[in-house]
Amino acid sequence: ALVLEMAGGVAGVANLGDSGFMLIRGAAPALLTPMTPISQKLEIAMRSREQQHGWNWPYQLMKMPPSVTSNPKFNLREYDTAQDSELYQFNVFPGDLLLLFTDGLSDNLYDSEILEIIRSEIAVAANDFVTAPADSVDEGPWPGSGLPTPERLARALALRARRHSRDPHAHVPFNDSSPPGESPMVGGKRDDITVVAAWVVPEM
């Protein structure tokens, strides 16, 4: 479970479990202001960390009825609540890109692959903005930005993660978390894949 709110250039996130967020900076250098952290390249400026009780055992937001929690035959451990969420607060600037996602993305794409996909989509959008007829160009997240829309970025990331998840020979981040003493896993991890992208836009 993940909740994000933003006000006055400050973003706050509450995250529970293995969904997550990334703050990506450097996509729109033309928007740099004296207050913006200088970045010469696309980079992950901040990201969440997964909360796991054990291998492949993420925190889960749940509410159990008293008839279950009080019944000893269920032998329930203490379950996770919203109070167990990890909290983040950070500054955002025009041109920053926020990604919110389920673990279907982060288990099937390395950070370097995520940045490569975003970099590629930015390059294609910039080329279209310059070369295509004005009436056929998507203006992007704000007029004249020349950046890819959030929908385009989210779709590109989700489709690549989906492709990896169905590849029996892929090497994905989930493979790196094999339980101790077991042979390394091979192949993508089939899972639900949800990606939400959002640009931080300048005041117009």
The pLDDT of residue 38: 47
pLDDT recorded at residue 148: 92
pLDDT digits (tens, 9 = 90+) for 184-199: 789 999 999 999 999 9
Residue 140 · residue 125 · CB < 8 Å = yes
Q: What pLDDT was estimated at residue 31?
A: 56
Q: Which residue has the higher pLDDT, 37 or 169?
A: 169
pLDDT range class, residue 128, cuts 50, 70, 90: confident
* Top mean-pLDDT range of 40-44, 121-125, 163-167: 163-167
Mean pLDDT of the chain: 87
In the sheet that 97-101 helps form, which strands lie side by side, from edge to edge?
43-47, 20-25, 97-101, 195-199
**Going edge to edge, which strands form the sheet with 2-7?**
2-7, 10-15, 86-91
Looking at residue 125, what is its pLDDT? 86
185/59: higher pLDDT: 59
Q: How far from each other are the two terminal CA atoms of the chain, in whole angstroms?
A: 32
Q: Are 18 and 52 in contact (CB under 8 A)?
A: yes
pLDDT per residue over 131-161, tens digit each? 766 665 666 777 777 889 999 999 999 999 9
